[in-house]
Amino acid sequence: MSRAALVASRFLKCGQELSLLRPLNFISAGKCSAFSSSTVQRQHLDISGIFPPIPTPFNADESIAYDKLEYNMKKWNKIPFRGYVVQGSNGECCFLNLEERVKMVKEVKRLAGPNKLIIAGSGCECKVHDFIYL
């Protein structure tokens, strides 16, 4: 059982309402079922496979090195990854402003091609409206 399913089942066993989760969809690994507390038809999203967290390359002036990103993506695209995690667990998001973060995700999506899924990290220590913008 996935962690999300385990947490959700504990809430349900305790008899607590999941009203806070209404706008959210929980997704677990593998062929999964996204669900919410509403009676919406279930959606299926296959997130099986390998999604490596990719590093953000930087130039000496601390700007994103998009040429190096393209070089890396060409190498990684030869490996049968299902997709990529951008700004996930490598810790570089604190060095990027919001515009750079969005541009980085768009560039990875463009370089990855249509058959790769992109998981964009949205966590950051920022204002709530900045988090929503992401």
What pLDDT, on the 0 to 100 scale, is given for residue 2?
Answer: 53
6 Cβ partners below 8 Å, 6+ apart? none
State pLDDT tens for residues 67-119.
999 999 999 999 999 999 998 877 787 788 889 999 999 999 999 988 999 99
Average pLDDT estimate for 6-25: 42
129 Cβ partners below 8 Å, 6+ apart? none
* Reduced 3-state DSSP string for 93-127: HHHCCHHHHHHHHHHHHHHHCCCCEEEECCCCCCC
* pLDDT-derived band at 29, boundaries 50, 70, 90: very low
What pLDDT, on the 0 to 100 scale, is given for residue 89?
Answer: 77
Considering the chain, what is the average pLDDT of its residues?
A: 75
Contact, 134 vs 106, CB < 8 A? no
CA 96 – CA 113 distance, rounded (Å): 24
Widest CA span of the chain, in angstroms? 55
